[in-house]
Amino acid sequence: MMNKRQSLSGIFQLIVTAPLVFGSVVASAYQPDAPHEKARQANAKAWAKQDADIDARLAKLEERFGKKPNIIYILGDDVGWGELGSYLGGKLRGTPTPNLDRMAAEGLQFLSHYAEPSCTPTRLALLTGRHPVRTGVDIVLWPGQKQGLAPAEVTVAELLSGAGYHTAMFGKWHVGDLEPHAPENQGFDYAYYGLYNGAIYSWANQDAFYKSQTLDGVGHFYDFPGTLADYEKKYGIKILGALEGRKGRGRREVARLTSESMVEMEARSIIKIKRFIQDKAKSDKPFFLYWASYAQQMASSPREYRFNEGLDYRNNQSAELAQHDDYIRQLLDTLKQAGIEENTLVIWVSDNGPMYAFWPNAGYSWLRGEKGEVYEGGVRTPGFARWPGMIEPGQTALDLISVTDLFVMAARIAGAEDAIPSDRVIDGINQLPLLLEGEGNGRRNYLFHYSGKDLAAVRMDEHKLHIKQGSRGGLPNMEIYNITRDPGEKFGAMYSQLWAVAPFQRLIGSHKQKIQEFPHREIRSGLFSNK
């Protein structure tokens, strides 16, 4: 469906008239964005040879194990660039993460992984390989809203299920409340999940908090109207707890939502995850597991991890990260015990930067910005990939990689590239060469950063443009940073970077023309909008 045309100002008034500089589409069902079309044409021969070499490695692995590789994607929550020990945090930040650090050391650590600026958008990007604005969702979702993951979108779980994979999802879904949006209706054979972000778990505690004998401080959501039942009675919005869904059989609520249920959901999730791995390791079919951890949401502080050595126990999120770190150890140990770690790609990334609104119960980033912003601190997050025998350990890579790339990489590994839909733009890029060949083999040199429905920043090689509203006497209103030289985005003076105006115009112009060719799903914009 054609989206409503949005008015453009400032630099966009120049950009929309920029000429399309890229040639015809490389023959394929897969429709990447315009800049990658150009790169595919320019590197066709070299990439074809590299892909053939990778095909040979994958074929040898499949011959050894008798099936395609397993794929596990783990999504952390609000974990900033600088929170983990492998990103200069860890004990220095009161958040020791020995097992996540071990995972980074045993594989390839991404120094330039980029997510969307907040939680719902990143989940949509991972699941569909597309910027959320393309899918018809431009907001972070709250209970009672009707936007969500459209049934017409094709998820990575649907692709892999069609390729013969077992599929399962655990944790924070947060891409729509309604049953058509649900994981069991979006390609997952099994799902154990919550619909909401961490704030809702704090809502459940407010009535009890204010009825306590003494009040120690102020609740996060001090104006919440009583209990969850009171909320439903007053507003007609029912808050659901932990859900269990099965493809073709619908879902059922298996636990009520309480102030303690986030800790419980994490604990139950790792038990179910280990059982899933142990069971599917014996199958003649591979598996895809998507674990969207609740760790780092402010409503949880698991007691058994709260006083670990070196941990800042007054910060709820430090205890949550300690819990998550221990569960990572259990997951990796289970893969090894099942004898399948060499046939299993595990990728861990965070969904966005920290949310300082609830400081000091918050994560941290060394970079400028936070969750909800397109400065580096909001969108540049930790991440790493581990695959013993396939990914050489001890690597770090500066190559750009986007959370959307995980969609295409999964399709590539599963041999399901031909199933990628051709009637829409897929923003993800095949980055398997980066994983298997190492630094310098990434295939991305640009990024588009959206804030809701608006294009707010653009990365081109080492330079990053922040688009501001209006103009300055005919000059574009913008900030341009050299991210290699200035990762903290401190020196964005426009005048020294005027040479970059036209190249950025052309890059964005090609992106806009691709949108005209493949329009977004319709969005009824606004914080309280429903679709």
Between CA 162 and CA 59 the distance in angstroms is: 19
CA–CA gap between residue 53 and residue 38 (Å, rounded):
23
Please, are residues 298 and 362 in contact by the beta-carbon 8 Å criterion? yes
As a whole number of angstroms, the distance between CA 255 and CA 160 comes to 29
Q: Is the separation of the CB atoms in 410 and 503 below 8 Å?
A: no
| Contact yes or no for 22/508 (Cβ under 8 A) | no
Residue 391 CA to residue 61 CA, distance in Å, equals: 13
Catalytic residue list contains 119? yes
Q: In the structure encoding, which two tokens stand for residue 290, read together?
A: 């998507």
36, 113, 174, 220: which is the annotated catalytic residue?
A: 174
Largest CA distance in the chain: 73
The phi and psi torsions of 471 (rounded to 5 degrees) equal -135, 170
Helix, strand, coil abundance in the chain, percent, nearest 5: 35, 15, 45
CB count, 10 Å around CB of 177? 22
Nearest to 82 by CA among 365, 495, 314, 485: 365
* Annotated catalytic residue within 36, 113, 119, 449: 119
| SS3 state of residue 193 | strand
Integer angstrom CA distances of residue 66 from 59, 61, 119, 166, 492: 10, 8, 37, 15, 53
User: What whole-number distance in Å separates Cα of residue 95 and Cα of residue 89?
Assistant: 7
Q: ω before 519 within 30° of 0 (cis)?
A: no
d(CA 245, CA 317): 28
Residue 192 burial (CB count, 10 A): 23
Q: Return the structure tokens found at 110.
A: 């991404």
Q: What residues act catalytically?
A: 119, 174
